[in-house]
Chain A
Amino acid sequence: MCRSSFDGRPGADEVSPHAEADLGPDLAEVLAALSRLAAGDPTARVAEPDGNSPGARLRRAVNAVADNVAALVDTAHEFAIGTAEHFSVLDRVARGDLTARIRGESREEIVEHLKELTNATIEALTAEIFSRREAEERLAASERKYRALFEGFADASFVLTGDRATNCNAAALRLFGLSGQPEALGRVPGILSPELQPDGRPSREKSQEVIALALARGSHRFEWRHRRTDGTEFPAEVLMTAVAAGATPTVHAVVRDLTREKRAEAERRDLERHLHQAQKLEALGTLAGGVAHDFNNLLTPILGYTEVVLEDLPAQSPHRVRLQRVVHAALRAKGIVEQILDFGREGGSEGQSVPLGEAALDALTLVRAALPPGITVHADADSGAGWVAASPTQIHQLLMNLSANARDALRDCRGPEIRVSVQAVDLDPAAAEPLGLVPGPYASLAVADNGCGIPPAIRQRVFDPFFTTKGVGEGSGLGLSVVHGIARQHLGGVRLESRVGHGTLVEVLLPRVAPEDPAG
């Protein structure tokens, strides 16, 4: 509460009207002015009369005091308003408003200087903050750019600090089957590898060596056996490059899955081997054909002269039986020679056609004789199966090859059976398409056994030339490929059904043709 007295003592301003009257009008007016000054009103003044009377001097003294008080109050106000504005502006800056500045002008020099100093400090602070923000934004942009490059890289990439993975990209997560960064980070390269590398050395130990090499040389490229989180392994090529990033040795590792390349390389080697084998067989065929031809020429005089001598011999001559044996042996040799010549011959069925049912039954008579006695053979040949554009030899070969496979599948089988069936079939588009055939009328020759069956894994390869599951010297791997070849030669196809432990059915489908004119 404002005090109304000028001396601060309670009741001191309570001057009695009698006393004021005693003091005269000068003193009463002076007391009133002093009371206002004491209450905080710096404008209080008294009239100043001329002269040098005690009353006039008192009035001048009071006004002088009032001037001083007014000046002091004015100064105090200047400082107070300046301080209040500084307080407000600094509070706004502290809250992050860098646009706040001291605007007011003061008559007090120090307040004006303080204003300049404060505003300059805010300016400097603002510049520093903006400069840091810009640097941070540049750093963030650089980080985003680096991250985008790293993430967009098609090959799996890791950053290894020391021997630990500290960063990896999406391709790395995919390649290794990792669910996310936290799982990948910190995994030493050895953990994403089998315990041992193909050379028998521990992965963990070897990984230290390749990292050291990359750091020493700047970069190092090598092949590595990796392991996914599901346990599957894969061959990879790794390029490690040393990175200058701080005091801890850091390398960037790019992992490329070599599975396809390795498979392609294996297939190429396989193909080369097959080609080599085919060339060998071709040479063998040519050689055999040549030898057979010469051999045939040699057999002709042997047979001819033996038959001439036989004709001249008396009927009771003991030599007759011996010479007949020579003829028999020579005829057998001729038969073998014919087979060798057949082997070297290509095609050979142009213009020929046979009724499939009859041809198959004829061939079966020979094939049955070559089968072990324990195997039961059932034949079901429909005479209405129709004619096909093939030679009897080819039908014989089809049946022989299929029966040989059936026989081998029936080893160690209880109650072994082979079923041969011939029938006419009409293929609709749905049935023809999977076999790559044109829909239409076909004749089917099927050979089924109740043997061991063909595992699904190798079912696709059984028609490949030289593919065999039989031991060395037991099979050439040509049986089914020849069957397939004969079928394709006549625009036909081969269908395979097999169940492991239950048996296999191979069906050869040949287009039906018009029967040959018996007179022709």
Chain B
Amino acid sequence: MTTHVLDASGLKCPQPVLKLAVRATTVPPGDVLEVLGDCPTFERDIRVWCERLGKTLLAVLDEGGEKKRVQILF
């Protein structure tokens, strides 16, 4: 299992989720993708995306300030 990282800090929603959509096509099943973001609706958008595409949201970690790190299992 490999962990991949996508840094979407500084991008306003829904930019992070669009970046995630593109990056998701390269992550093999079984791997984890960590996405970093600091937009106020970042967490909500990630949750909706995971629900739509049947991915498992493993964790949402508060990194301080507005910044969050989400872990998605592919």
Seed contacts A41-B41, A77-B41; 7 additional CB < 8 Å A-B pairs: A1-B9, A76-B13, A76-B14, A77-B48, A83-B21, A87-B21, A88-B25
A81 within 8 A of B: yes
Q: Chain B residues near A43: list those with CB within 8 A.
A: 40
B66 to A, closest residue via Cβ: A2
Contact A81 B41 (CB under 8 A): no
Q: Chain A residues near B49: list those with CB within 8 A.
A: 81, 84
* Cα–Cα distance between A87 and B13 once the two chains are bound (Å): 18
* Cα–Cα distance between A2 and B9 once the two chains are bound (Å): 8
Known contacts A2-B10, A88-B25, A88-B53; decide if A80 and B41 are in contact (CB<8 Å): no
* Cα–Cα distance between A104 and B53 once the two chains are bound (Å): 8
A85 to B, closest residue via Cβ: B52
Instruction: Enumerate A32-53 residues with CB–CB distance to B below 8 Å.
Output: 36, 39-43
Q: Chain A residues near B38: list those with CB within 8 A.
A: 1-2
Instruction: Enumerate B39-74 residues with CB–CB distance to A below 8 Å.
Output: 39-41, 45, 48-49, 52-53, 66
B24 within 8 A of A: yes
A145 within 8 A of B: no
Contact-residue size bin, chain A (C-beta under 8 Å from the other chain): 20 to 34
**Minimum C-beta distance from A106 to chain B (A):** 10
Q: Chain B residues near A83: list those with CB within 8 A.
A: 18, 21
A91 within 8 A of B: yes
Contact A84 B39 (CB under 8 A): no
B32 within 8 A of A: no
Interface size on B, residues (CB 8 A): 22
DSSP class of A's interface residues: helix, strand, loop or mixed? helix
Contact A2 B18 (CB under 8 A): no
Instruction: Enumerate A1-27 residues with CB–CB distance to B below 8 Å.
Output: 1-2
Contact A84 B40 (CB under 8 A): no
* Cα–Cα distance between A79 and B17 once the two chains are bound (Å): 11
Known contacts A81-B52, A87-B22; decide if A42 and B41 are in contact (CB<8 Å): yes
Interface string of A45-88 (1 = CB under 8 A from B): 00000000000000000000000000001001101110111011
B20 within 8 A of A: yes
Contact A85 B13 (CB under 8 A): no
Contact B39 A77 (CB under 8 A): no
Contact B53 A85 (CB under 8 A): yes
**Minimum C-beta distance from B68 to chain A (A):** 12
Q: Chain B residues near A87: list those with CB within 8 A.
A: 21-22, 25
B25 to A, closest residue via Cβ: A91
A187 within 8 A of B: no
Contact A103 B52 (CB under 8 A): yes
Contact B14 A40 (CB under 8 A): no
Interface string of B4-34 (1 = CB under 8 A from A): 0000011011100110111011000000000
